[in-house]
Structure 1
Amino acid sequence: MGNRLFIEAKNFVELAKNATGSGQYDAIEKAKNALSSAFANSTMAERRQLSQLQNELDELT
């Protein structure tokens, strides 16, 4: 079983990337919160991946 918070963060970032219109803002905010929670409870390898996901999220804003 993987890190649940890490998996959720990945899923929320994907949702944000696929969202459109006014729904994208909410999806981005949820993804940011999920990334923050996951980062605090992750391994170094997961943190590197979360940093990449954060970069992808930053490109949306």
Structure 2
Amino acid sequence: MGNQLFQEARRFVEQAEQAAEEKNQGNLQKAIETAQNALTSAYANTTTAEKQQLKAYQERLDQLK
């Protein structure tokens, strides 16, 4: 099953990317905030490999800002 916080962070980043594609600024800002919170929560409870993936998710999120 894996790390649930990690999986949620990935899902929220994907949702933020979807909001960006829809060009809905209100939804995008909320989605970015939610994804950022999920990434922060997940980072403290992950393996080294997961941390590398979370950094990649953070970069994807940063591109949406």
- Give percent identity, aligned residues only: 52
User: For 1:24 and 1:9, how far apart are their aligned partners in 2?
Assistant: 15
RMSD across aligned C-alpha pairs, in angstroms?
0.6
Aligned length: 61
State the alpha-carbon separation in 1 of the partners of residues 11 and 26 from structure 2: 19
2:27 to 23, 30, 36: 23
Pick from 28, 45, 49 the counterpart of residue 45 of structure 1. Answer: 49
* Higher RCO by CA contacts (8 Å cutoff, separation 6 or greater): 2
What does residue 5 of structure 2 align with? 5
SS in 1 for 2:46: coil
Using the TM superposition, give the Cα deviation of residue 21 of structure 1 relative to its aligned residue in structure 2, in angstroms.
2.3
Alpha-carbon shift at residue 45 of structure 1 (Å):
0.2
Whether 1:33 and 2:37 are equivalent positions in the alignment is yes
TM-score where L is the length of structure 1: 0.97
